[in-house]
């Protein structure tokens, strides 16, 4: 029998938390959501938990995600590793970007410094494991970002780029995301608590 989770109208990270809890107890789960960020976050959770995933568009903005977990796969993530916070191919530290410019004071200088900072990340050894963009930092991952190519270079090198879905929706720019994965506060908080966090 399948478990049905109605996560419509719930803010991040509730859809992910409910889906994860249901998958720990059931092999077949259907999660009902009503926004693109929730679709992506639940889909990524299912993938990390080894599920077969079918996304069904019901119309009117409603999407049903059918998650079927392999009975032979573990129902939970390894101890200390949340299901949606698997480490990426980079190093053991996380870079948090809560702003689209670096420091306070002169805005033009802040733009120059941020561009230099992100470019410098591509030259470090080791590279960060993850780069997290939230609040105004999400603008760095959009299609007109001055650091877009550097972020793409980091992604191609195995660095996971996480972009806050709630922030994308708040600013109305979800359709302009050009690099990285739509993320949620559960994954962001988990990533920050599992690694050393660097923020410019």
pLDDT level of residue 74 (50, 70, 90 thresholds): low
> Where residue 200 falls among pLDDT bands split at 50, 70, 90?
confident
Report the C-alpha gap between 14 and 30 in whole angstroms: 15
Q: What is the pLDDT of residue 75?
A: 56
Report the length, in residues, of the chain: 200
Average pLDDT of 130-147?
Answer: 97
Cβ-in-10-Å burial (0-12, 13-18, 19+) of 92 comes to exposed
Lowest mean pLDDT among 7-16, 24-33, 68-77, 190-199: 68-77
């Amino acid at each position: 029998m399948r478990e049905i989770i109605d996560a419509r109208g719930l803010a991040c990270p509730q859809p992910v938390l409910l889906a994860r809890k249901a998958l720990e107890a059931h092999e077949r789960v259907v999660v009902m959501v009503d926004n693109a960020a929730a679709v992506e976050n639940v889909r990524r959770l299912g993938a990390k938990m080894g599920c077969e995933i079918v996304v069904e568009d019901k119309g009117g903005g409603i999407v049903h995600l059918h998650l079927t977990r392999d009975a032979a796969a573990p129902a939970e993530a390894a101890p200390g590793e949340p299901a949606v916070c698997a480490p990426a191919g980079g190093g053991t530290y996380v870079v948090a970007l809560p702003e689209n410019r670096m420091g306070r004071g002169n805005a033009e200088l802040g733009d120059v410094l941020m561009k230099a900072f992100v470019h410098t990340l591509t030259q470090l050894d080791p590279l960060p494991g993850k780069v997290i963009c939230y609040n105004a930092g999400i603008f760095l991952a959009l299609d007109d970002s001055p650091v877009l190519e550097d972020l793409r270079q980091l992604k191609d090198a195995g660095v996971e780029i996480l972009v806050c879905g709630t922030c994308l929706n708040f600013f109305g720019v979800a359709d302009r995301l050009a690099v990285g994965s739509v993320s949620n506060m559960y994954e962001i908080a988990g990533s920050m608590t599992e690694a050393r966090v660097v923020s410019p």
